[in-house]
Amino acid sequence: MKSLITGGAGFIGSHLCEELIAREEEVFVLDNLSTGTLDNIKHLKNNKKFHLIIDSVLNDPVLEELISKVDRIFHLAAAVGVKLIMEKPVDTIETNVLGTEKVLSLANKYRKKVLIASTSEVYGKHKDHTLNEMNNMVLGPTKKRRWAYACTKALDEFLAFAYYEEKKLPVIVVRFFNTIGPRQTGQYGMVVPKFIKSALLGNPITVFGDGKQSRSFTYVRDAVRAVILLMERPEAEGDVFNIGDGREITILELAKKIKSLTNSSSEIIFVPFIEAYGKGFEDMERRAPDISKIRKAIGYEPSINLEQCLQIIIQHMKNV
């Protein structure tokens, strides 16, 4: 089996590469290294089943050549992270929408199965319940650039399902919920690596807002195994699945837990969102998935709890 992973030098993509190669599959990675890094995949570069192409998913000839020779496509390439979205909204919109359109168009030309990576952001501002795949989107106004990312990924989903329904292209969509693990960077606003780095350095752990907003966190190896299993299920085609962990924690509780696990003397401080991200930012008060659908489809269950996952990440960050 030959797989193309767009964005394969990124956090989730690099773990997906590892898992597929461990299964003796051949992997082609297309990444422009805008948010991914060579460090994420350096341990794979000498493997004969691993191929890296440093280029953009927007480069039609390169993308077409790769899609023509693989069996399936994991489309993970995207502009990610709250900080990047707030700083570069044009790049976010163009990369996410145009990149996905090109992948789907060429996949349809060569009749290759595609998995599209989406996000829990598409649900928007729900706060009264866990989120299942058929919930409505509750997004903020278009003047709030915070919602640009959610809108682009929702459009990606609409486009994927249009190709499935009109062109009969085998497509699967997954919505990742706060995936965490080794090699994730806090550079683009990801909260867990930011908190751990601050704690290990003895710097203040900065909580945005009042810290009462809650999230659930997913171990990256659980996420990539779920993605692979879904791609192996023909009955999953034309459908969308949450990939996450239903257990929630507030951001303030997360900061306290990380401080305790690292035995850190760091102070926990609070910074208003407007100071952190500027005008046009809104946060979601709650975001946790209903995973009953993916549980039924592939028997998915989180393999470790949050504390175990944090301990793995802390040890990794100590060693790098």
Does residue 139 sit within a domain?
A: yes
Q: What is the mean pLDDT of the chain?
A: 94
- Listed in sequence order, the DSSP H helices in 111-190 are 148-167
CA angle in degrees (0–180, nearest 5) for 61-62-66: 115
Does residue 97 sit within a domain?
A: yes
Q: How many residues does the chain have?
A: 320
Q: Is the pLDDT of residue 194 over 70?
A: yes
State phi, psi for 189 to the nearest 5 degrees.
105, 0
| Residue 172: per-residue pLDDT | 98
Does residue 191 sit within a domain?
A: no
| Residue 119: per-residue pLDDT | 94
| Residue 83: per-residue pLDDT | 67
Active site residue 149: yes
Q: Active site residue: 110, 123, 149, 163, which one?
A: 149
Residue 51 to residue 49: CA distance in whole angstroms: 7
Number of structural domains the chain divides into: 1
pLDDT in tens, 263-297: 999 999 999 987 877 776 777 889 999 999 999 99
pLDDT in tens, 93-145: 888 999 999 999 999 999 999 999 999 999 998 887 899 999 999 998 888 88
The model's confidence at residue 257, banded by pLDDT at 50, 70 and 90, is very high
Which residues, listed in sequence order, are joined to residue 219 by a DSSP beta bridge? 180
The CATH number linked to 71 is 3.40.50.720
Strands (E) across 112-250 are located at 113-119, 171-176, 179-180, 205-208, 214-215, 218-219, 239-243, 249-250
| Residue 289: per-residue pLDDT | 96
CB 184 within 8 A of CB 193: yes
Domain that holds residue 89: 2-179+218-247+285-303
Does residue 264 sit within a domain?
A: no
Does residue 165 sit within a domain?
A: yes
Write b or e for each residue in 203-241: b if 16 or more Cβ atoms lie within 10 A of its Cβ, otherwise e: eebbbbbebebbbbbbbbbbbbbbbbebbeeeebbbbbb
Does residue 203 sit within a domain?
A: no
pLDDT in tens, 33-55: 988 999 999 999 999 999 999 99
Burial (Cβ within 10 Å: 0-12, 13-18, ≥19) of residue 19: middle
Does residue 55 sit within a domain?
A: yes
| Residue 243: per-residue pLDDT | 98
Rg of the chain over all Cα atoms, to the nearest angstrom: 19
Does residue 141 sit within a domain?
A: yes
